[in-house]
Structures are given as C-alpha cells and as structure tokens.
Structure 1
Amino acid sequence: MTRLQTTLGQFSFDSCVMNASGVHCYDRTELDDLRASKATTFVTKSATLNPREGNPTPRYKAVPLGSINSMGLPNLGIDYYLDYLETVEVGESSPFLSVTGLSREETHTLLRKIQSSSYNGLVELNLSCPNLIGKPQLGYDTEGVNDLLTEVFAYFDQPLGVKLPPYFDLTHFDQIAEVLNQFPLTFVNTVNSIGNALYIEDETVAIKPKNGFGGLGGSYIKPTALANVHAFYQRLKPSIAIIGTGGVTSGRDVFEHILCGARLVQVGTALQEEGPAIFDRLEAELRSIMAEKGYECLDDFRGKLHYL
C-alpha cells in the first residue's frame, strides 16, 4: 500500500498535489471545487490590497505544450480571501493564502492585515509575478529580497513562504539561497511561469497584453522547474520545505518533482485545461509508479535523484 502523506512545517497533508495560485482559485465557487476534489489542500489567488481586474483580454492561451498568459493579477482583494478562509478550519493541515503587494508598503499592509486577522495558516508571499506592466519581479533582486524579508520578519510570526521566479545560473541559485537561509521561512515555491515568452499564430501574437509577451507554463517549463527544485533542495537549510511547480501533467511529473526534493507539488496549466478531476488521475498515476518501483512512501525517494 503506497502512502502519499507529506509535511510542510508544522502541518501535515494526506497527499502531495494541489493547485497553483492563479488557477481555479479566483472565488468561493472555484475554491469550494478544490476543497471537494482530491487536491490535498489549496492556495488562493495572489491577493492584492484592493480587487483588480487584471490585464485586458485575451490574456490566456492554451498552446501545444502548455500555455502563455499575461493575467495581471486579477483577484478579489485580500479581504475577500480572508473572509473565505475564516470558514476553513486550520487544523493539522492548512490552506495557503497567497499575497503580493504592488509596492513594498502594500506588502507590509497585506501582511499586517493577515497578522491581525483570525487566520493562522500558511501564507505565500509572491515575489515573482512576470505579468505586471511596468513592475519588475522582486525575486530577481537579491538585495531587495533580503531587505524586504528583514522588514517582514521583524513583525510577522505566522508560517510564511515565498514564491520564486525561475533562475537560470548556478551563481544566482547560490546568491538567492544565501539570502533565504537567513530567515525562518517555512517553504519556497519554485517556479512561477517563465516570464516574457512570445507565442505566434500565423503572423499574430496569441495574447493582447504587452504586445503578446507573457508567462510560459506547462510542459515547456518542466526541465527548468525540476532544475530549480533540485538546486534549492541542495542549497536551502532542511527546515525550509520546497514546493515544486511547473510542467505537471502526469503522475510521472509529480514523481520527478518529489525525486528532485519537493514536499508538495502544484498544478497550473493542466488544471486549467482538465479541471479539478485531474487530482484523482495524478494521484492514481503516482501510486502506480511508486508500487512498480517498490516505494511505500514519498520519503523513500524524495531528493534521491541519481547522478551519472
């Protein structure tokens, strides 16, 4: 009998797959769908202080090996998601409340609002949205990340993690890991979509915002996502758990994320295309792979990638 239980900080989960923020988590109806599915938990849309409509449409396009999007953080505002989470019991497991500030000041306002609320579950600080027009990704500013987290942990004492952009240079892994290891983070989530890709159909771009430039997701990015998961598994202190995100369409993809060191695995593009029923399939496929290889639990192979 295979067991899919996993832990993250003080919380435990019956399985290891869930949604990625931004997909099927906009409002109560979608969040209720996730809670009724085989997803082990859920994460909300990345909330800003006030509701946002996001970028003009069309802003999402399914393409042969994944998707391209420039959503621009459409969300219903932090108060909406805090109100919803008050209806969810945070026990041994926890949902994730994702937030992102449009400025450093807004980030602190969001986190102080959470700190003073009744919510005591996991919080994800999104440092990596590539689709905000005129706003750079803070995750690529190592000094800026250090300064922000120094300010945040001066007052914030709830379990907090960060969502990161993909990195492409070993030196950059070293630099950002050195910063993250200084703080009592519960987790890192890696990766967000690869920013500013361009997909062309005939002679026209596929989405409207930014003249077609958007975040790339799906199978296109799985090798990059796996590299980031494993690079951080090698560099971060053991108390910081890793959530693997990117390119998950099958149980084999979930298996590879865990093999690289992930404790939880998030699904984005494939969830958008298949709906919450995907979690039943992913769990069944993962169990089948584990049974074939003789693995009884995730710890039997987590982080145990073989090298040549």
Structure 2
Amino acid sequence: MFEVTFQNYTFQSPLMNASGVHCMTSEELNGLIDSRAGTFITKSVTRQKRQGNPEPRYYETTLGSINSMGLPNLGFDYYLDYVNEYQKNFSTPMFFSVASMSMQENIETLKKLEDSDFHGFTELNLSCPNVAGKPQVAYDFALTEQILTEIFSFYTKPLGVKLPPYFDIAHFDQIATILNKFPLTFVNSINSVGNGLIIDPDKEQVVIKPKEGFGGIGGEYIKPTALANVRAFYTRLNPSIQIIGTGGIVSGQDAFEHLLCGASMLQIGTQLYKEGTSVFARILDELAVIMDTKGYSNIQQFQGKLKTIEE
C-alpha cells in the first residue's frame, strides 16, 4: 500500500527522518532502522566533528519548533564508517547528508564520498540557515549554479539538494531553470523557514541563545509554505528529478497532502523530535485510513494529482 519508487529502488514506506533529527549517533540511526520509516538519512556532516551552537538552541512550541543548532555532528569519518557497516547488513539504500562550513569543504567531502564504497543517495544541504555569519547558498542563484557545475564535473553517484523555502513565483521559475540543467536525483523541499523569532512572554526574552534568538522555524507553522514549494518544484522540474517533501508533517493528513502535491518521499523533523520513532507507524496508520476512505490502494493513484479550481 505504501510502496514508493524512488529512482531505481522501491521503498516500503515514503517516510524518513529529516537530517538533524534522531541521526547524530549510531544508536539513533539504528533506531530508525528498527522503525517503520522506509529509509533514513545521516546528520549533515562536516569534515571534522562540530559541537554546534551554544545551548539552548532548540525550543518546542505547540505548533512547532525553533532551532539554531549550527551543524553539530560527529564528523565525516564517523558517518562513513557507519554507512560501510550498514551496507554490509542491509540492501535498502540510505541517504548521506553533506552540509559543510564552506563550499570548498563540501566539494572535498563529496570527492571523498565519490571515492568511497557508499552506494546510497547523497543530500547536499544548500540551505542551512543556522550557522552564524553564513548565508544560505541556495538564495544566491549564480553561486548555486557554479557549485553544482563543479560538483557534477566529478560526482557520479545519485545526488540531490536540500533547499530553503522560496516565496516568489519568479524565484521558483529561476531556481528550477538552474536545477534542470543538472542530473539531480532529487530536490528536498523545504528546510526550516530561516530566522524566525519566538519569545517567552513571562521572561520577556528570546527562547534560544544563538544569533540573539533568531532560528529556523519548523513544524505545523511551515506546512503551507512547504506544500507550495513541493508543488512548485513538482510542476517545474524535469520528471527525472523527484521531490522529497519536508515541513509540517504531523499527521497522516499532512503526509497525504505532501504526496498529493507531488512528493515521492517525506521527511519528518520536528514531530519526530517530539514523538520519537513511533511517529512513523502512527502517520502511516492515519494515511491508510485516508487512502481506504478515498478508495486508493496505492500512493501512485493520487501522487501529484492536486486539482486547481477551474472557471
């Protein structure tokens, strides 16, 4: 019922974690293997281990979360070692996330990955909004094209990019034109909505420490923006570039809407952080009820088939 074809592989479920959640350590990654997620992704890696931003750097609210993590991770070698062990025991491909502190470091990391035995999917994060002093690369269209040109001059493994939210139709058109020039496997849309601010009214202060309280907004707050970006890219990108929908997936209804907009896979961040790995089973159960009610026996019957209102 939940099978989805992603490139040349069929996953048993469209659900997976969003990079940054439940994927720092091998123990957390193993917990995803034991869940009903179809596959999973590593923490975004940098060349060396990073502590990330000072705490508190994550805060939950009723409708979502704010974070300014600053790419904490255990370093490239740690995750590559994990991947090598995983691939000895499992045939389901996993995702490896790369989000280094500079584009040159990204390129060096991808060259190492190219020369390794990793045979899953690579996600290049062009949209981290939470590293102080570092702008989001994917808002600079010329730089994005330059980086992808250099990467695809040597990288031959399946690679996709994680994008920030875009808010203007012209920007959808412009970035899609650039992305269509490259043999991308997928686009992951969206990363958190950058530089929001949440206030504790009792203390009359911000709730996280880095960047004077500014951070990425996730959860229910961002679902309409996420859906718009998924739909915009589904209707603009080459059919060979699949969409991973991320943002505001709390229920089976949210998952259904992302799939209806054209997503092939779905990543869950804030709600996974709040609920733990049982979230995957709950959302799939809720999605099954919706599909049964509507008479759908598989996801392909409604994926991408969002209707507009005609005159």
TM-score for both structures, normalised by structure 2 = 0.97
- Is the CA contact (8 Å cut-off) linking 1:12 and 1:92 kept in structure 2? no
* Aligned residue in 2 for 1:47: 45
Q: Does 1:205 align with 2:203?
A: no
Aligned residues with identical type, % of pairs:
56
Q: How does 1:1-308 map to 2 (within 5 A)?
A: 3-89=1-87, 93-202=92-201, 203-308=204-309
Unaligned runs of at least 5 residues, structure 2: none
Deviation at 1:79?
0.7
| Number of equivalent positions | 306
For residues 188 and 6 of structure 2, what CA distance do their matches in structure 1 show? Answer: 12
Deviations 1:208-244 (A, max 9, x none): 0001000000000000000000000010010000000
* Distance in 2 of aligned mates of 1:306 and 1:174: 20
- State the distance in 2 between where 1:155 and 1:19 align: 28
Tell me, in whole angstroms, the C-alpha distance in 2 between the residues paired with 1:13 and 1:93: 8
Instruction: Report SS of the residue matched to 2:85.
Output: coil
| CA deviation vs aligned residue, 1:20-63 (integer Å, no higher than 9, x gap) | 00000001010000000001100000001111000000000001
Moved more, 115-124 or 220-229: 115-124
Letter in 1 for 2:237: L
1:249 counterpart letter in structure 2? V
The Cα offsets for residues 81-138 of structure 1, whole Å up to 9 and x where unpaired, read as 0000011228763100000121121011100000111111100000000000000000
Paired residues of 1:165 and 1:194 also in contact (CA < 8 A)? yes
Counterpart of 1:75, as a letter, is: N
CA distance in 2, matches of 1:102, 1:7: 33
User: CA separation in 2, counterparts of 1:296 and 1:9?
Assistant: 21
Distance in 2, Cα, partners of 1:25 & 1:92: 19
Deviation at 1:70, TM superposition (A): 0.3
Provide the rounded CA distance (Å) in 1 between the counterparts of 2:289 and 2:75.
40
Instruction: Measure the CA separation in 1 of the matches of 2:138 and 2:41.
Output: 20
Tell me the distance in 2 between the aligned counterparts of 1:89 and 1:120: 8
SS at match of 2:182: coil
Distance in 2 of aligned mates of 1:271 and 1:212 = 23
Is the 1:11–1:92 contact (alpha carbons within 8 Å) kept by the matching residues of 2?
no
- TM-score of the pair, normalised by structure 1: 0.98
Cα distance between partner residues in 1 of 2:7 and 2:181: 17
* CA distance, structure 2, for counterparts of residue 173 and residue 283 of structure 1: 30
CA displacement, residues 264-286 of structure 1 (integer Å, 9 cap, x when unaligned): 01100000000001111011111
Structure 1 unmatched runs, 5+: none
CA distance in 2, matches of 1:43, 1:240: 18
Deviation at 1:196, TM superposition (A): 0.3
Runs of 4+ in 1 over 2 A off after TM superposition: 89-93
CA distance in 2, matches of 1:77, 1:104: 16
CA contact (8 A) 1:8 1:187 kept: no
The separation in 2 between residues aligned to 1:109 and 1:33, in whole angstroms, is: 30
Amino acid at match of 1:261: G
Which stretch shifts more, 231-240 or 83-92?
A: 83-92
Q: Equivalents in 1 of 2:73, 2:171: separation in Å? A: 31
Give the secondary structure class of the aligned counterpart of 2:24.
coil
Deviation at 1:148, TM superposition (A): 0.4
RMSD over aligned Cα atoms? 0.9
For the 8 Å contact 1:166–1:225, the answer to whether it is kept is yes
Counterpart residue type for residue 157 of structure 2: Q
